[in-house]
Structure 1
Amino acid sequence: MNAITPLTKEVHGTFKLASDTRYPQVKTEHLLPVVVHEFTALALEYAIVFVKNAETGAFQSVLLTGLNTGQNLYFSEKGWQADAVPLVVRNYPLLLIQDPNDEQQLLVGVNESSTLLNASEGDALFDADGNETHFLQQRKQKLADFLKFTQVTAAFITSLTELNLLAPQKLTVTVQQNKQELNGLYLLDEDKLNALDTDSFSSLRQRGFLAPIYAHLMSLRNIERLVKKAAKQGE
């Protein structure tokens, strides 16, 4: 049964939304989607890379949170192991879903399997009269903002793809003297970036895309941070 359903006052009128800063819903996710608006802040603590959908050929920007499938080195029962937390994690368990009665419309949905949705603990979603609380209105605005950010990110990635700036990169890391290869990752080719003609480079600058490009490149040093986390976890 699909646990993701439209959020309504009729069904969820008495429910509350709790918080859990451990973010256990992603404890086995080694890749997390990220939007360009977050690149600068997240680049200080995470490696931002690109992956390619094998079926559609579309690229997606993601945070590398583990060195193996099923491993998130930023998750801990003591709390998330970074100051900055990606938006996709913070929005959970609310998300935007397609209106089943109108494919052109989006609705706020909720993952009903989440323990954060409950009847006793957290912030109320609706008041006694069935009206949306200020808390829910704020969360809905964050979802709307995230949708806009996702659209800008898609345009950003399209620009990189059209300029042929993304290149596959097989990375080799060493964890406790054991070599390990990271496959399926794409990084921006800095040499190709520097070789762009003036018009193409100016277009990236005018669209505000240079900041996330350089944030991505800077973030790659955090792969070593992951290696250290993996080594420490294996001690």
Structure 2
Amino acid sequence: MTNRVLLNNVDHADLRVIARHGPEFGDGVNQALVFPNEFEDLQREYPIFFRRDADGAFQAVVLLGFDRDENLFLDGRGWNARYVPAAQQRGPFSIALQPQRAGGAPEAMIHIDLDHPRVSRTEGEPLFLPAGGNAPYLQHVSRLLGVIYDGLEVGRPFFEALDGLGLIEAIEVEAKLADGREYVIPDLFTVSEARLADLGGADLERLHRSGALRAAYAQRSSMANISRLIDAKSVRQAAFA
């Protein structure tokens, strides 16, 4: 259950949001939803894969750990990476279309879940300035929600373009740790390197112009981060041995 309301500087003038990361804020997950317009930032840190959602449609995720509820990027200092996925940063905020008077087009407005564990009146980042304007943190949130909103818009055509050209293939991710422990993560998909290399002509040009080609290469590049994730898991295992 949520207690989502339209954010405003009158009713919520004294609200603060705890910006740090931890399991208590929903960050203890081994996969996180991401969007194609984030791939260039994500591919420097995480392995990116595709999954099918409950309706069978593709969506993108980053792999954060191997065990259930394991995020190897979380430590005592918070989220240890140069870029945190937008969906994990957004915390209690969301965008909803607000009907306008006189039949105008609906406007995207920021809403906040007042029951979210990040919401506080005693600690965290203020949302509004004393005079009522948006504080820097809320300006950051607005940009962040824009990333998510745009990501939802581009996601479906991105996956339809790749799938229509036969560029998405199933992959079974295997990881073997230094102590001999092995993990196999099923139900993941990736961009086919061979099929992508064979692409040419109008299909290649269309992917390039849409931006999907760049995102596809970023996804392929990101898979090198699996070895980094294995190393992080081995270090954590050794620390608790």
Q: TM-score, normalised by structure 2?
A: 0.84
Kindly provide the amino acid, as one letter, of the partner of residue 58 in structure 2.
F
CA distance in 2, matches of 1:142, 1:82: 17
Shift of 1:57: 0.9
Distance 1:178 1:129, change over 3 A: closer
Q: CA 1:141–1:172 in 2, change beyond 3 Å: closer, same or farther?
A: closer
- Aligned length in residues: 234
SS state of the match for residue 172, structure 1?
strand
Structure 2 match to 1:195: 198
TM-score (norm 1): 0.86
Distance 1:145 1:73, change over 3 A: closer
- Cα displacement string for residues 138-190 of structure 1 (whole angstroms, at most 9, x for unaligned residues): 53243134311331233212211211211111122112212221101001111
**What is the RMSD of the two structures over their aligned residues, measured on CA atoms?**
2.7
Query: Segments of 4+ in structure 1 off by > 6 A?
Result: none
CA contact (8 A) 2:25 2:118 kept: no
Of stretches 20-29 and 141-150 in structure 1, the one that deviates more from structure 2 is 20-29
Q: Distance in 2 between matches of 1:210 and 1:227?
A: 28
Q: Secondary structure at the match of 1:234?
A: helix
Cα distance change on mapping 1:42 and 1:131 into 2, 3 Å: closer
For 2:171, the equivalent position in structure 1 comes to: 169
User: Which residue pairs with 1:206 in the alignment?
Assistant: 209
Listed as ranges, the matches of 1:1-235 within 5 Å are: 1-22=1-22, 24-53=24-53, 55-97=54-96, 106-128=108-130, 130=132, 132-133=134-135, 135-175=137-177, 176-235=179-238
Cα 1:20–1:138, aligned 2, differ >3 Å: closer, same or farther? closer
The one-letter code sitting in structure 2 at the alignment partner of 1:71 is E
CA distance in 2, matches of 1:38, 1:2: 27
Identity %: 23
Q: 1:23-63 deviations in whole A, cap 9, x for unaligned?
A: 7524321111222222122212210111111x311101111
- In the alignment, the residues of structure 2 paired with residue 127 and residue 81 of structure 1 have an alpha-carbon distance, to the nearest angstrom, of 29
Give unmatched runs, 5+ long, in structure 2: none
How far residue 80 of structure 1 moved from its aligned partner, in angstroms, is 1.5
TM-superposed CA distance for 1:128, in Å, is 4.9
The alpha-carbon distance between structure 1 residues 28 and 116, as it changes in their structure 2 partners (threshold 3 A), is: closer
| Secondary structure of 2:203's aligned partner | helix
Does the 8 Å contact 2:21/2:27 carry over to 1?
Answer: no
| Preserved CA contact (<8 Å) 2:158 2:212 | yes
Cα distance change of structure 1 residues 218 and 141 upon mapping to structure 2, 3 Å threshold: closer
